[in-house]
Amino acid sequence: MKLLVAFALIASLGALAQAEEEYCHNSVVTACSSSTFSGESNSICNARFAGIEHVEPEVQAYINSQLTKSYEYLLLATHFNSYQKNRPGFQKLYQGLSDRSFDDSIALIKQITKRGGIVDFNTRHESAASVSTQRPTLEVDELHSLALALDNEKQLATGATHIHTRAIHATERDPEMAHYMEEEYLGKQADSVRKLSGYANDLAKLMKVPDPSLSIYLFDEYLQKQ
C-alpha cells in the first residue's frame, strides 16, 4: 500500500514539474517570439537581473569620467614628452595612467553590455561621484602635475566606491556588480592613490633647495625605472 502511495506521489510530482517546465517554455517562446518581442527592458529576453538598473547610471557616469581622465593624462604625457620639458619619466607615468583609464573604461562598457545595458555617450549621466566640468590647466610643472594626477585618482577611487556602495545598499541589490567593482577597481585605485601621494611628497621635499633642477632630473630618472 505504501509503495503504491509512493509511486502515486512521484507520478504527481513529475506531472507538476512537467507542467511548470511547459509553462516556462511557453512563456519564453511567447515573450521572445519575433512577433511580440521588441527589446523593451521589461521583457524577460535580456541579460538584465538583480539591481542593474539602480547602478547603471552611476557606472555610465564613471565610464565618462575614466575616458576624461585618460584624455587628460595623455595631454600630460605629451606635455612632458616635448623637447622643452624632456621628462621621459613623467611621460612614462602619465602615458601608463592614460592607457589604464582607457582600458578600464572599455572593461566597464563590456561589463554593462554583458548585464544587458547600453552605454549611451549622447546622454550625460550625473552621479554623486561626478566631478566638475571645469577643465584644469594641464601645462604645469612636475610637482603640480603630480598633485593633479593625485586628485584625479582620488576622484576615480571615490567613483568606484560610490558604485560599490550603491550596488550593495540600493533598493534592489546587485552583488555581482559590487563584487566586480571590488575585484577590479577598489584595490587598484587605492594603490594608485598611495603611489602618487608618495611621489608628490618625495618630490616636494627634494625641491626645497635653491636650485631644484638636479633634484627634478634625478626624480625623473627614478620614474623611468618604475
Q: Is residue 29 part of a domain?
A: no
Count how many domains the chain has: 1
Reported as a single tens digit per residue, the pLDDT across 86-131 is 999 999 999 999 999 999 999 999 999 898 888 888 766 565 445 5
Task: Give the pLDDT confidence of 121-141 residue by residue, as tens digits.
Answer: 876 656 544 555 555 677 789
Flag whether 31 is in a domain.
Answer: no
Q: What is the pTM of this model?
A: 0.78
Domain annotation covers residue 41: no
Tell me whether residue 16 is in a domain. no
Residue 172 among known ligand-binding residues: no
Any domain includes 7: no
Task: Provide the domain limits for residue 80.
Answer: 52-225
For residue 109, is it within any domain? Answer: yes
Confirm whether 42 is domain-assigned.
no
In a domain? residue 6: no
Q: How far apart are the first and last CA of the chain?
A: 80
| C-alpha–C-alpha distance, residues 13 and 77, integer Å | 68
State yes or no: 182 annotated in a binding site. Answer: no
State the CATH number of the domain containing residue 213. 1.20.1260.10
Q: Which residues are CB-neighbours of 175 under 8 A, at least 6 positions away?
A: 50, 167, 168
